[in-house]
Amino acid sequence: MAVRDVLISGDPRLRQPSRAVAPSSLGSEALWALVQDLRDTMAARDGAGLAAPQIGVPLRVVIFGITHNPRYPQAPPIPETVLVNPEITPLDPQLETAEEGCLSVPGLRAPVPRWRRVRYRAFTPDGEALVREVEGFHARVVQHECDHLAGILFTDRLG
C-alpha cells in the first residue's frame, strides 16, 4: 500500500494511549490496509517492529518480525507477526537488559531492562485468537512495540 512517515520523539501523538480495535473491524479492508502500511513502512526502514501509533494511527495494532536485519545483526529470526489488541503477561520476574533502538527515536540506542519471558495474547487481523510464550529477543521486541500502544518510548525505561 504505502510507506508512511514515522512520528519522531517529541510528537505528542506518540504519548497518547491507543484505542482497541473494535471486533467489527477485524477482517476489514481498512484494518488490512493499515497492516500493509505498517509492513511496508517497517521494511523500508529496516525495522524489527512497528506500532500503529508510530505512523499516527492510535489503534492497538503492532507488527514485528525479522529474518536478517542490519540494525540487529546478531538477532535470531522472528516470524512476521501482526497483533491486534495485544496483552502481555510476564512469565517470571527475571529481567534482561539489552540494547534497543527505535524508529521514532533515531540515532539513539541504549540498554533497556525487559522481562526475559512473556506470554502474549492477541487477535490476528482476521480475528483469530493468538497466544504465544516467547523469550529473549522475541520477548523484547513484543514488549517494545506494545509499549508504543500505551504511549511509552524505550527512553522512558532507561535507568
The pLDDT tens digits of the residues spanning 43-56 come to: 999 899 999 999 99
- Please pick, among 29, 87, 96, 145, the residue that the annotation labels catalytic: 145
Burial class (CB in 10 A: 0-12, 13-18, 19+), 23: exposed
Counted residue by residue, the chain has a size of 159
Q: What is the pLDDT of residues 70-95, one digit of tens each?
A: 777 788 889 999 999 999 999 999 99
62-100 in b/e form (b: 16+ CB < 10 A) is bbbbbeeeeebeebeebeebbbbbbebeeeeeeeeeeeb
CB-based contact 21:126 (threshold 8 Å): no
Kindly state the helix (H) or strand (E) to which residue 37 belongs, with its residue range: helix 29-44
d(CA 145, CA 51): 6
Active-site annotation holds for 80: no
**∠ Cα 97 88 6 (to 5°):** 75
Burial class (CB in 10 A: 0-12, 13-18, 19+), 106: exposed
pLDDT at site 69: 73
Which stretches of the chain score pLDDT less than 70? 1, 159
Q: Report all structural domains of the chain as residue ranges with CATH numbers, in order of start.
A: 12-157 (3.90.45.10)
Q: Is the pTM of this model over 0.85?
A: yes
